[in-house]
Amino acid sequence: MRSIHVALAMAVAAVWGINFVAIKLGLRDFPPILFSCLRFALAALPLLVLGVRGGPPVPWRYVLGIGLALGVVKFSLLFVGIDIGMPAGLASLVLQSQAFFTALFAALVLGDRPGLRQIAGMAVAFSGVALIASGMPAGNSLLGLLLVLAAAAAWGVSNIMMKQARAPDLLRLMLWVSLVPPLPLLGLSLVLEGPERILHALGSLSLTGVASLVYISAGATLFGFAAWGFLLRHYPASLVAPFSLLVPIFGMSSSALVLGESFTAMKLAGSALVFCGLALAVLKLPAPRAARV
């Protein structure tokens, strides 16, 4: 892998990790479902400006399915979970359990059976999640953790649809997918958050809120998926995927620096187990070399 592409992969991981801090900051200005709605509305703007010539790169059933699973379900659950008390740094780590949900759903839907190493990684990682949960007080914080886990499951569902769609251009797919969530999310926001709260948020925007919205739309969505798609087109997925392990490292460190989030010994131990489980499942071990005679 060329050094410039290694740097690009690390930059994507950093952008995606810091994204959780941006979400936490943006939620100070926006109710969570409205924030998710605006994220996708802004991400879809380039497609509306450039036009829709040629249509989506995959059949519409995949665009709609991914848009609902990823845009409506996953991000609503994630934003609400963080809003009610799930720390941003821990959310960046727990959300990576999507890798295990993807493996489980692939086994059920596609017949792709996970190997012993992947199963062991799942067991280690989810024992870490259980340890983190045992150290969180009952109430909103624990509910936030469960919502982030549910968001990871929804991400797993969208990953299966992406795999089935086999899009030749990940950025173009994400632009079309971004057209799907805004209207359903706006309807959910009107029902669950109310017009008064929406108008108050839009009428009292701060620079931090606007910057957070631009960051998660342009940075995490457009740049992140464009760069990740570029890397996947030029290198095997087994070489690119391990860089996603850097996302929670950037997420947890940036949340500690910017938001002052602290980690108890139990949270650190649970986080270590989740990370080790991810590494065990994702990293490809080198094949043993044959002994020379």
pLDDT reported for residue 292: 47
Q: How far apart, in whole angstroms, are the C-alpha atoms of residue 269 and residue 260?
A: 19
Question: Would you give the DSSP letter of residue 291?
Answer: P
State the number of CA atoms in the 13 A half-sphere of 272 facing the CB.
7
- DSSP-assigned states of every residue in 121-178: HHHHHHHHHHHHHHTSPTTHHHHHHHHHHHHHHHHHHHHHHHHHHT-S-HHHHHHHHT
Q: What is the C-alpha end-to-end distance of the chain, expressed in Å?
A: 32
Is 288 a member of any domain? Answer: no
Unique residue bearing structure tokens 């809120």: 209
Banded pLDDT at 224 (limits 50, 70, 90): confident
Q: Which domain holds residue 149?
A: 3-282
- pLDDT over 50 at 70, yes or no: yes
Is 67 a member of any domain? Answer: yes
Structural domains counted in the chain = 1
What would the pLDDT profile of 189-221 be if each residue is shown by its tens digit? 999 999 999 999 999 989 999 999 999 999 988
Contact between 96 and 278 under an 8 Å Cβ cutoff? The reply is yes
Kindly state the average pLDDT of the residues 165-190: 89
Q: How far apart, in whole angstroms, are the C-alpha atoms of residue 251 and residue 95?
A: 11
Positive or negative, the CA dihedral 220, 240, 99, 276 is negative
What would the pLDDT profile of 89-145 be if each residue is shown by its tens digit? 889 888 988 888 888 888 888 787 777 887 888 888 888 888 887 777 666 778 998
Is 291 a member of any domain? Answer: no
